[in-house]
A and B are shown apart, each in its own frame.
Chain A
Amino acid sequence: MPRLLLFIPLALFSILILFLWKGLSIDPRELPSALIDKPFPAFKVEALLSPERKLTTADIVGKPVLINVWATWCPSCRQEHEQLLRIAQENKIAIIGLNYKDDRTAATKWLTQLGNPYQFNIYDESGMLGLDLGVYGAPETYLLDAQGIIRHRHVGVVTEQTWQELQAIIKSWEKL
């Protein structure tokens, strides 16, 4: 019997390999979300800064917007924050925050301290909206057109380069 015990590490490793192999076929960066070219999932969630205000899908349609998934526990969000502030300053598109599985006090403090690039923030405390949206982790950014259809998904930090790409997509709509 003890001889069989020696196979335990091998067995555990085999299970791990199965998962890793599965993981390879799921590419977290590309993530052509199942929702691409589909409407943003319907929701009714509190706003971050004014809890009494209930936000719904109606608040995000009408013009193209960027939905930025962020949280105070996410260091990469901090990294992209300055870029978001710059995008907000350029005033070409509205950024709406999706505060994901976060603490309201901490998130509010974050916005006061670092500046607030968001028009408003959806306070997704339970992460249910994030789940509907297929959020892999923060930060993620979605580009929605005026009809509220998800047109592009970016996983990871928004950089100047990302912003150029996003602008190119928006420009291509204007040509149509």
Chain B
Amino acid sequence: MSGGAGGVYCDDVRSRALAAGGAALGALWAARSWRATLHALTGLMIEVVTAVLLLLWLGDIVTLIDGPGSDQGNAAFYVVVAVIAPVPLLWWLGVLSAVQRVRFRTVLGVEIPQPPQAAGRWPWRLARAWGTAAAWRQLGYHLLAPVTGLVGGVLVAVCWSAPFVVATYPGALPVAGPRLAVLAAGLLLAAPWVARGVARADEIAARALLGPSPAQELAQRVDTLARSRAEIVAAADAERRRIERDLHDGAQQQLVSLALNLGMARAALGDVPQAARRAIEAAHEDAIEALAGLRELVRGLHPAVLNDRGLDAALSGIVARAAIPVRLRIEVATRCGPSIEAIAYFTVSEALTNIARHARATRAEITVERAGDRLRVVVTDDGCGGASPGGDGSGLRGLAQRAAAVDGALSVHSPAGGPTTITVELPCE
């Protein structure tokens, strides 16, 4: 029994060792290892160039600080170089960053996004660019990269080339014999992992320093979200308008035609059985009722007059249909966008519906004013109060959401006993 168990244990160890060995050998020709290696080697080449340029510039600065000697022309040259250096440096940073991004993309398949560019005209843009964290972080990367790139690149190269170096120059190292062979083999087996580690470290540094900062990423994300949200709101409005038009051109006309024909039939009825007369009369009345119902529905989708003539014309329509006297005051010199007008319109419409249903009010007042880039709609009634936008079935809640979707706000002030004031503030360019 125990021997059997020991055998299983040994098999297990052996198979694990085999698997590990297989993995180590497999890593030697895995694409990922070679990509990482290529990355380290290209990095090495780029960083040699960068390091040389950096040293030249540092040399210039050091010489300037030390004193360039008695030659006036020489001194002027050093001063000019030191003073104008930030201009080409900024440009050079851009070039280096672009090269690095291409390297990350083509070799590792890693996308390092570009941070947003400083805005403005040329001389100011330069000042502004140096004022951004992005420029200094890029500078940081390109100062750090020569060190890490050179060290990493050399390390990777040493690991891969160890067996060949040992085979070619067996006497070059202080160790010899089997230990040397083990060392060379160990370095070779470690090479894929070293290359991957170096690539990974470089990637982390590049993401942190070459890409946009978390704040910039957040700002970009907010921009994208705001844009896509505005597009969704506009698309939903356009869809409502389309459905309104389809119903107007289709079902509504057909129903008017049906009602007209039934009306003519009813008027022309001569001596027909009572049952037939009753059926035609009922059909006629049903058609008229359906027409009125459909009209209300379609108007609830999107009032056509709102598009044609704006809030004033559209609101006077619903005010007229209100069950209680409503005073309407509109001061909107320039029209707002269609989405904003629709939200303002439906706010008033919903508020009047609520007033009719719940408020027990005797009169209401609506004010719509545009002050600069804000449209303000206030609906007040003298009813019993207690309205809230929180209820699930409340149309006010939907309107609050619609207002919020365009960066507007809906507020309800409705103490028990009244009066109720509903205010919507909407942005409009």
Same complex for A and B? Answer no
- Residues of chain B having any CB pair with chain A under 8 Å: none
